[in-house]
Amino acid sequence: MSWLRRGSSEPLWKEEFPVHTADERYVTRRQLTKFLVLTSLGMFAGNLWILIRSILYKAPLYPQQPIAQLGEIPVGGVKLFTYPTKEDHCIMIRTGEDEYVSYSQKCTHLSCAVYYSHADHRLECPCHQGFFSIKDGSVLQGPPPRPLPRIVLETRGQQLVAIEVKG
């Protein structure tokens, strides 16, 4: 950064600690400007880090996991399971004779477990009254910033198999 100090023949320490009071105002302003520019560099580095992470991002490979037998739960019934790992709790609801939907049970606000409200036909988070649509997991009300991740189900013979997480 020596090009930024053009015309100065004094050593840096002498510039930073001036003898005259009037010069001190310049030093504090210049130092604050330098600090602000370095912070700006930090913000740029943060954005670069996000860019590199998104370039190197690889879509995860999800396991195929049998969840339930067809007709195992009644219409309006619920089954809890874990997918894709044992720590990821999910909820499956039978919404019609041949209709099943499944979502992550973790609220996108503060990760409380959501439950199915049969009376209101929606998923509810009891912690902060966040409500999610049963159709697509979108936020109906409350503080959650994003929809619930959806578990993609596939029917194989008499089995319901979880194949992917979307969102």
Partner 1 sequence: MRSPSELPPQNRGLTAIGGAMSLIAVLLIVQIWLLTASLESFLAGNRHTALPAAIFSGLMFLVCLGLYAFVARVDSGVHGPKGR
Residues near partner 1 (CB under 8 A): 3-10, 14-15, 18-20, 22-23, 25-26, 29-30, 32-34, 36-37, 39-41, 43-44, 46-48, 50-51, 53-55, 57, 145-146, 167
The span from the CA of 41 to the CA of 123, in Å, is 44
**CA proximity to 162, closest of 97, 85, 75, 78:** 85
Q: Shortest gap between Cβ of 18 and partner 1 (angstroms)?
A: 6
Q: Shortest gap between Cβ of 8 and partner 1 (angstroms)?
A: 6
H-type alpha helices, 17-138: 21-56
Judged by beta carbon, residue 37 or residue 80, the one nearer partner 1 is 37
Judged by beta carbon, residue 36 or residue 152, the one nearer partner 1 is 36
Which residues make beta-bridge pairs with 125? 130
Judged by beta carbon, residue 45 or residue 119, the one nearer partner 1 is 45
Judged by beta carbon, residue 38 or residue 119, the one nearer partner 1 is 38
The span from the CA of 139 to the CA of 124, in Å, is 10
Two structure tokens written together for 85: 């790992």
Judged by beta carbon, residue 57 or residue 99, the one nearer partner 1 is 57
**CA proximity to 148, closest of 160, 121, 161, 130:** 130
Answer for the pair 124, 117: CB distance below 8 angstroms, yes or no.
yes
Q: Shortest gap between Cβ of 27 and partner 1 (angstroms)?
A: 9
Q: Shortest gap between Cβ of 41 and partner 1 (angstroms)?
A: 6
Q: Shortest gap between Cβ of 128 and partner 1 (angstroms)?
A: 19
The span from the CA of 103 to the CA of 41, in Å, is 40
